[in-house]
Amino acid sequence: MSRHLPHPTADTKAFWDGCAIGELRYQVCVHCGHVQFIPGSLCSACHQGDLAWKTSAGGGRILSHTTVHRAPTPAFRDEVPYVIALIDMDEGFRLMVNVKGGASPDVAIGQPVRIGFREVEGVKLPQAEVIS
């Protein structure tokens, strides 16, 4: 069974194109400076449509995390247990990603991470790696 892999839209194509070449991209509003993630066509703060793409340096910290023990679909049966975390990126946006290393005991709130990428069925997905 295949996974639910991303289907890029007009708003998210630049993000997924970045992932494909190892870049984590986010948006900054040219009008008000708001940092935006998830990508969109309008700024979620001032509703202007002038958004610029930036590339993250990849550093952040774990805001929260959970360990998944029960596979949500049969496609994840061989991956449990694994950790999903909310990451506060240094540039001021937040994303939810898988954490490399399964149910690692090193995962903790406030733990610094670096975003890398892992390939799943030909698609590169962001993944956090704990920095010890």
Residue 51 beta carbon to Zn ion: minimum distance, rounded to whole angstroms: 8
Work out which of 21, 45, 109, 131 binds Zn ion, going by CB under 5 A. 45
- How far apart are the C-alpha atoms of 111 and 131, rounded to whole Å? 7
Number of chain residues interacting with Zn ion (CB under 5 A) = 7
- How far apart are the C-alpha atoms of 15 and 26, rounded to whole Å? 7
Place of tokens 């996974």: 3
Which stretch in 39-47, 60-68, 73-81, 114-122 sits in contact with Zn ion by CB under 5 A? 39-47
At position 89, the amino acid (one-letter code) is M
Is 131 a binder of Zn ion (CB under 5 A)?
no
Is 30 a binder of Zn ion (CB under 5 A)?
no
Tell me if the bond preceding 81 is cis, omega within 30° of 0. yes
Interacting residues with Zn ion (CB under 5 A): 29, 31-32, 34, 43, 45-46
